[in-house]
Amino acid sequence: MVSKAIKKTPPKPAIKDRRSRSRRNKSPIKAVSAVSSIIHTCHRRLIKIFSKFARIGTPQNKKKKNKYAYQILPKTSTPTSARRSLFPAAGNRPLPPQTSPVKPTIFLDLDETLVHSKPDPPPEKYDFIVRPVIDGVKVDFYVLKRPYVDEFLEILSKKFEIVVFTAGIEEYASLVLSRLDRKSAISHRLYRDSCREIEGKFVKDLGDLGRELKRVVIVDDNPNSYVLQPENAIPIVPFTDDVCDAELRRLVEFFDGYCDGVEDLRDAIKARAVWFGINLPFNESHGPPSSALKWTSNVVDSLSKDEANATLSLVAFTAWFIWKARNDSIFRHTPVNPLETMSKVMYAHSEYSISLVIPSVHMDNHPTNDVASVWKAPDCSSFKANCDVAIRPDSSIGMAAVVLRDWKGKVVDGITKSLHVSSPLHGELFAIREACLLIEALGLKGMEIESDNKEAIHLSVYELVPPWCIAALVLDIR
């Protein structure tokens, strides 16, 4: 007999019993958990839906598919490098490479070199007005161009790279240059942020601008600007309002006539400092000469016989001492000192000129005192001023004295002053000038001035060319 296994299932409770049991077992915690699970599920499904939308709207990169289907941007530079590019260090911004490496470079100052400007009130003479905004305020500047500046820029731009290097701020200088440079003769512009500040002064360092120093010249009226490279500098007289100013015309003649073929422009600057630093007459109407001989011939032809003789002797002394300085530099490696060369030229020429007028004069800055001097009275009703100077040995410190007496020998007045001098002749001339000032202050007439230095007397009386270092004193006395 085969038996069949029957699986018995427990009887289902009645509906009424189940409802009452579910009410007994369901707690508030389980209800909150269920709701949280539903919200989480909905959130996850919403994320999937929006991810599909993002993949549809984002362009695909065919070369390289990334996992998330959005474009990866390239990495940017660090904040430090970004700041360096936005705010470069002052004085460390080299110029772009030259378009014509054959051209030397001339750095030109702006204010008092090419133009002169002033704020309100307006002057009587000006060429144009610029209105920069400085610290949020608009300021009017009235600009007067230096005579011959337009021709100066146009002529030199053909042979030189012209760079205006100013210590002025860009807000002001850029407006002036835009009005000044109508023909685009200026290659580059450098402003105050390209200067170096040394001891409170703006210095223009030419060594960091990407140009060879031997092919660089700077023209500036402020010596502080080129203190780092003085051998590359050509000083210029500051311009304010002189309509007869001819400085730029002279510079054109120098650059256009004397710098062709010069390998090192610093040598040409040294020669110019000597040649044009002395009182040689220069006839500008002839234009730039092709040689020193032609220039000398042009000058001599325009002078009288006496003036021509004096000029020729000065030219000869100048050429001789330039030649000696050149030989000392090449063979003895002695640095060229233009001021010292000028001094030698002027002293030698002065000695030569005096010897022509008074052949018996013995040139000596230190007169002998072997014979006691006796005071000689002046003419009746007149006065005499005796001058003398004493200088400490091995020193430039001295004392000048002036004694004023009448024809009877009675002391009327006197004066003493301490001074710093470069030579006994300098001191004697200083004393003579003090005597002249004293006489002028007292309003005296019929005066005589006596000094024991013959050269000082001759330079004061005769129309001789004095050495450059005492030229101002001699002109004041005359």
Which positions are catalytic? Answer: 109, 111
Q: How many angstroms from the chain centroid is the CA of residue 314? A: 32
CA angle in degrees (0–180, nearest 5) for 459-283-112: 85
- Specify whether the CB–CB gap between 260 and 290 falls below 8 A: no
**Cα distance between residue 172 and residue 132, in whole Å:** 5
**Cα distance between residue 268 and residue 249, in whole Å:** 17
**Cα distance between residue 281 and residue 136, in whole Å:** 51
Q: DSSP assignment of 160-197, as one string?
A: SEEEEE-SS-HHHHHHHHHHH-TT----EEE-GGGSEE
> Checking DSSP bridges between strand 383-391 and strand 397-406, what pairing results, if any?
antiparallel
**Cα distance between residue 240 and residue 352, in whole Å:** 39
Please choose, from the candidates 322, 304, 306, the residue with its C-alpha nearest in 3D space to the C-alpha of residue 356: 306
**Contacts with 198 (C-beta within 8 Å, 6 or more apart), sequence order:** 227
Q: Is 231 exposed, middle or buried (0-12, 13-18, 19+ CB in 10 A)?
A: middle
**Cα distance between residue 432 and residue 452, in whole Å:** 11
**Contacts with 252 (C-beta within 8 Å, 6 or more apart), sequence order:** 148, 151, 152, 155, 156, 288
- Tell me if residue 390 falls in helix, strand or coil: strand
**Cα separation values, 164 from 109, 143, 173, 209, 444, Å:** 6, 16, 10, 13, 54
**Contacts with 187 (C-beta within 8 Å, 6 or more apart), sequence order:** 99, 157, 161, 162, 163
**Cα distance between residue 92 and residue 206, in whole Å:** 10
- Specify whether the CB–CB gap between 269 and 215 falls below 8 A: no
